Amino acid sequence: MNIYFLISVVILSLVVNNDTYTTAQISKKLLKTQAPQSNPKVLEKKESLLSEDIIPLIYCPNPGNTYNFSVESSVSQTLGDMFDFKARTSAHTSMQLSIDKNVKKQLLLIYKYDKGNVSFDGLSMAGIPDTSFTTNSSLLPETQELINQQGIVLERIHTHPSGAHIPARSEQLLQSLAQGARYFLIEFPSKPIKKDSAWKITKIDTIHTSALEGNSSIIMNTNLHYVISDISVKNGTRIATIQCSSHSLGIKGTAEQSGVFLTIDGEGTAKGIYNVELLTGIPIDAQLSMEYELRMAATGQENAIFPVTMNMDIKYMRTGFSGNNQQLHSNPKEKQSKKIK
């Protein structure tokens, strides 16, 4: 509509009503007749509403749900300045997480792994040529975990050994996969969370692994710090992005390699990032990196200590899902989040 015509109509209506108005008053009347303008502050408030919510963060997937993940793990090692030894082992496999039961706020989880593609590089000093191969069976044993809604492990059972024939001196690769499995699910705080919420978790785990010509038993003492860095919606799924870090990792244990028994101790750091589905608590993806400064010595030769720098990286990416996220056991409070005043 022509703006001059609109002005003339408004002025005419004012004259008919025998009222007199100043130019400023007429302009005010005109503004009231136009379509309401969007308020950028209101839009900004709506966009930030997700990050202002207080949300209960719990594990509550439905029984029968199955989540599929691709898993990538790598381990890099160096033997101090005296040795020209830089080795890297890596593996790629897939993991299936099934929710067997969800009773009385306790969940029974079943982890199953497929065969893995493994590669070795730089291990010629250890008698292992550079090579790549596919394992004859699963890389890690099938495992059952009983957890509560906070993610605290109440019981863990290895139901079936992996049976994978992996060359000697690859225990570190299995350790990386096993450690990643222990930290795949975060132990949530007991109180509801919001953006910038932070909490600390202390874990003590004993991890046993077995390869073709050796095995290991490692005790890990970990202090982890978690913080909610973002709360968002991606592809219709409400997600909490959680950063984790630690400057206090302790490791101690023994390992056998081709008949040689080693003692291991050291310390390290960790960092990671998780994108967690708020409806169920199950990760969409996760990435964890650990760096250790280790001291290794052969049994009976403890005076000959070898310094080892080890970097472990593991990544999880959800590749599939089957089940129902809308049943009885979906988070009943997630949809009723409260806004901070």
Q: Locate the DSSP E strands across 122-213.
A: 131-138, 142-148, 153-160, 198-211
CA distance 177 to 94: 11
pLDDT at res. 200: 95
Residue 266: strand, helix, or coil: strand
Predicted TM-score (pTM) of this structure: 0.75
Q: What is the pLDDT along the chain (341 residues), one digit of tens a residue?
A: 444 333 333 333 333 333 444 444 434 443 444 444 445 444 444 444 444 578 889 999 999 999 999 999 998 888 766 666 788 888 999 999 999 988 888 999 999 999 889 888 877 766 678 888 888 888 888 889 999 999 999 998 876 665 555 554 555 666 667 777 888 999 999 999 999 999 999 988 887 776 655 677 888 888 999 999 999 999 899 999 999 999 888 989 888 766 778 888 999 999 999 999 999 999 999 999 999 898 888 876 666 788 888 899 999 999 999 988 764 444 544 444 444 33
What are 38-92's pLDDT values in tens digits? 454 444 444 444 445 788 899 999 999 999 999 999 988 887 666 667 888 889 9
pLDDT at res. 170: 55
The amino acid that residue 271 corresponds to is K
pLDDT at res. 177: 74
- Contact 136/126 with Cβ under 8 angstroms? no
Compute the 3-state secondary structure of the chain and give helix, strand, coil in percent, each to the nearest 5. Answer: 15, 55, 30
The partner residues of 263 in beta bridges, in order of sequence, read: 254, 297
pLDDT at res. 82: 62
Greatest Cα pair distance in the chain? 111
CA distance 241 to 11: 57
Q: How far is CA 236 from CA 239, 243, 279, in A?
A: 9, 22, 11
The residue ranges of every structural domain in the chain are 3-37, 56-61+71-94+165-339
pLDDT at res. 233: 94
